[in-house]
Amino acid sequence: MIHQFILAAPKPGMTAQEFQDYWVNTHAVQYAAKIPQIRKYMVDTVVDIEGNLGTPALPHQGIAEIWLNPEEQIASLQTDEFLNGARLDEPKWAAFWMTLVVDTTAHEIVAGPPLAKGQDWVKLTVLLKRRPGLDLADYRKRSLDGYAGTVKELPGLRRYLHAHTVDGAYVFGESAFDSVEQLWFDDVPALEAALRSPYFTERITAARDEIADPKYVFSIAAKENWIIGPEAR
């Protein structure tokens, strides 16, 4: 199943709170969730933290996470619900020219407790691009065999996912990012403490720098809002 990440930013003149409220309570429910091929769907609303990765900071204020079967992806973009619903609604609230989409295949490294609506955890979503000269296949192998093994020991980590960008993203050249990882924590203080910890700043940073280009590592902290799920429809 494809695990798709759609990063979006508010249109000019709209505050982050207005943007997030419209996305979660209007666009997601009235438009996007009606696309029949979408099996699971959540909206991650950004929260401010100290220690986000990347300079300059990403401007996006939310991430849509969508799960769908690969053979149904094209059909989902041809439905009336998308063409005359979700797509037409997007300019009302999002700066669509800044939208970033990454399709991935996910690998669960730390399972954590069962997913459920209403969990009040905060999670860090990290986008990574492999370092120059590193073969894509080697990056994928090393990100799971070595790097992920280091990350999963981070104190306070509750759940951990590392997702590789799908092969189709490289048909016409390089993908903007080669993988997306997500790290869950009890709350914002726990996440910030983890990012400040010597284990993160020394061990994880060193392991990440062996496979990823430091210039192209960015993170966003967010709260989850399930629209469809966590069980697939």
Question: CA nearest 29: which of 110, 75, 86, 76?
Answer: 86
Q: Is 140 helix (H, G, I), strand (E, B) or coil?
A: helix
Rounded to an integer, what is the distance from CA 122 to the centroid of its chain? Answer: 13
Q: Answer yes or no: is pLDDT of 129 > 80.
A: yes
Helix (H) or strand (E) holding 124: strand 122-130
pLDDT band at 58 (very low <50, low <70, confident <90, very high): very high
Q: Answer yes or no: is pLDDT of 119 > 90.
A: no
Question: CA nearest 211: which of 145, 165, 112?
Answer: 145
Establish how many alpha carbons lie within 13 A of residue 76's alpha carbon, considering only the half-sphere containing its beta carbon: 20
Domains of the chain are 2-228 (3.30.70.100)
Q: Is 64 helix (H, G, I), strand (E, B) or coil?
A: strand
Q: Cα separation of 198 and 194, whole Å?
A: 9
Torsion of CA 177, 212, 63, 115, to 10 degrees: 120
pLDDT band at 120 (very low <50, low <70, confident <90, very high): confident
Q: Answer yes or no: is pLDDT of 112 > 90.
A: no
Interstrand relation of 179-185 and 62-68 (parallel, antiparallel or unpaired): unpaired
| β-bridge mates for residue 219, sequence order | 126
Which pTM does this prediction carry?
0.96
Residue 177 confidence (pLDDT): 98
Q: Which two tokens stand for residue 213?
A: 């280009």
112 phi and psi angles, rounded to 5 deg: 70, -175
pLDDT band at 117 (very low <50, low <70, confident <90, very high): confident
pLDDT tens string 141-177: 999 999 999 999 999 999 999 999 999 999 999 999 9
Summary mean pLDDT of the chain: 96
Residue 2 confidence (pLDDT): 97
Establish how many alpha carbons lie within 13 A of residue 47's alpha carbon, considering only the half-sphere containing its beta carbon: 17
